[in-house]
């Protein structure tokens, strides 16, 4: 993947000879999000939605207080798994961009 570059055009139609990569996030944010620590933290954090989903599925028809509690656990667990999975994909994407920018 090639980093996105800017091109500055003048009225004469000439382009800038020294393009610079566009920075979507500050360097400290990409440093933190692109680290292995963040990926490990997201994997550990993934345990909570998995447990919500499992408890919701196991006790789906057994809750005597309110029958909507297991449904809530199932929905919140599935949404949590989806959001943490998307965050981990973004971390990997940011890590790949960081490596390409620094190696080029």
pTM of the model: 0.60
* pLDDT one-digit tens code per residue, 41-86: 888 889 999 999 999 999 998 988 998 999 999 999 999 999 988 8
The residue ranges of every structural domain in the chain are 36-103
pLDDT, greater one: 97 or 103: 97
Sign of CA dihedral 81, 86, 87, 91: positive
| Cα–Cα distance for residue pair 80/46, rounded to 1 Å | 8
């Amino acid at each position: 993947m090639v980093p996105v570059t800017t091109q500055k055009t003048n009225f004469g139609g000439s382009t800038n000879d020294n393009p610079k990569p566009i920075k979507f996030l500050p360097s400290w944010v990409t440093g933190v999000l692109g680290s292995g620590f963040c990926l490990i933290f997201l994997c550990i954090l993934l345990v909570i939605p998995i447990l919500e989903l499992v408890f919701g599925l196991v006790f789906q028809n057994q809750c005597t207080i309110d029958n909507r509690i297991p449904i809530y656990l199932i929905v919140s667990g599935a949404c949590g798994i989806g959001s943490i999975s998307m965050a981990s994909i973004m971390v990997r994407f940011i890590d790949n961009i960081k490596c390409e920018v620094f190696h080029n």
